[in-house]
């Protein structure tokens, strides 16, 4: 599914182009995970101010209200001056005087939700429990270590739940743990300060590099300009089960954690 780097890259590829655009039409396709929450015609005439991001949500600020967009498991956004007629998996079109923003989502786990502001109940339900942004200055090593000390679950699961730090999805959790030399099954509260500091740095490094490389395209992710990501070609362990570790040569292992695949090196990640 699109993770934080993919969502951030998507944002960067259309945010400036749509800034200041005036909404001319709204088309809804098949129902998504949540209802829009407002009659589509009430969005007509509104102007796009900014497009931000919170975790895996895009936050589009209008001159009245906000739209929260989530790409779900298989979604992608496209913004172009003109797009072809919508297909069966195109579930939301926001037509503006600068182009059409379209959500394509074959599995329909994505969402477009309107809220009055970030303090509205629906926005708080979706965003209120999210952890700190890992690429922001608010992601402090000491606070990260203190948070880990309160969690007895395996470190990979703690990263995925998003309550301590947001947006470290499956691909990037495996990669960050490898870079930090930490086995994904290690209990979070057993990480020493030096090891949690290594993980903190690894999270920032892996996510930052993924954004630079346009995210990861494993199946159907494309940014808002229709370009595929390239980070997957640099993955050290993710998707490389049975292949030699790029550092030590030992076969990369694959296990299941919380119904998700985890990849690690048994030699480089001993504990």
DSSP assignments along 15-26, one per residue: HHHHTT-BEEEE
Classify residue 261 as exposed, middle or buried by CB count within 10 Å of its CB (0-12, 13-18, 19+). middle
Choosing from 2, 5, 106, 184, the catalytic residue is: 2
Compute the C-alpha angle 55/59/63, nearest 5°: 160
Q: How far apart are CA 141 and CA 146, in angstroms?
A: 9
- Alpha-helix runs per DSSP H in 167-268: 170-180, 193-212
Choosing from 11, 17, 56, 102, the catalytic residue is: 56
Tell me whether residue 266 is one of the annotated catalytic residues: no
Instruction: Determine how β-strand 90-96 pairs with β-strand 99-104.
Output: antiparallel
Sheet holding 90-96, edge to edge: 23-28, 90-96, 99-104, 76-80
Choosing from 3, 6, 8, 175, the catalytic residue is: 3
Tell me whether residue 64 is one of the annotated catalytic residues: no
Tell me whether residue 3 is one of the annotated catalytic residues: yes
User: Closest Cα partner for 1 from 117, 135, 106, 122?
Assistant: 106
| Count of beta carbons in the 10 Å neighbourhood of residue 131 | 20
Tell me whether residue 209 is one of the annotated catalytic residues: no
3-state secondary structure of 68: strand
The catalytic residues are 2-3, 56, 260
């Amino acid at each position: 599914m699109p993770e934080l780097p993919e969502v951030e890259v998507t944002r960067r590829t259309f945010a400036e182009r749509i800034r200041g655009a005036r909404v001319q039409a709204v088309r809804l396709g098949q129902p998504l995970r949540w209802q829009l929450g407002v009659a589509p015609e009430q969005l007509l005439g509104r102007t796009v101010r900014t497009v931000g991001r919170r975790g895996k949500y895009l936050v589009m600020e209008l001159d009245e209200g906000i739209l929260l967009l989530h790409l779900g498991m298989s979604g992608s956004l496209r913004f172009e001056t003109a797009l072809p007629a919508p297909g069966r998996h195109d579930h939301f079109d926001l037509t503006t005087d600068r182009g059409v923003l379209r959500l394509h989502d074959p599995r329909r786990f994505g969402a477009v939700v309107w809220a009055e502001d970030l303090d509205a109940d629906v926005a708080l339900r979706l965003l209120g429990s999210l952890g700190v942004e890992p690429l922001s200055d608010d992601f402090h090593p000491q606070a990260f270590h203190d948070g880990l000390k309160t969690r007895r679950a395996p470190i990979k699961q703690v990263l995925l739940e998003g309550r301590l730090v947001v947006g470290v999805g499956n691909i990037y959790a495996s990669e960050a743990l490898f870079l930090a030399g930490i086995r994904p099954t290690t209990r979070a509260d057993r990480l020493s300060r030096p090891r949690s500091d290594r993980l903190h740095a690894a999270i920032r490094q892996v996510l930052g590099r993924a954004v630079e490389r346009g995210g990861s395209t494993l199946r159907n992710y494309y940014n808002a300009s229709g370009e595929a990501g390239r980070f997957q070609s640099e993955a050290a362990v993710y998707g490389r089960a049975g292949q030699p570790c790029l550092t030590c040569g030992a076969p990369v292992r694959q296990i299941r954690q919380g119904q998700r695949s985890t990849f690690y090196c048994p030699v480089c990640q001993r504990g």
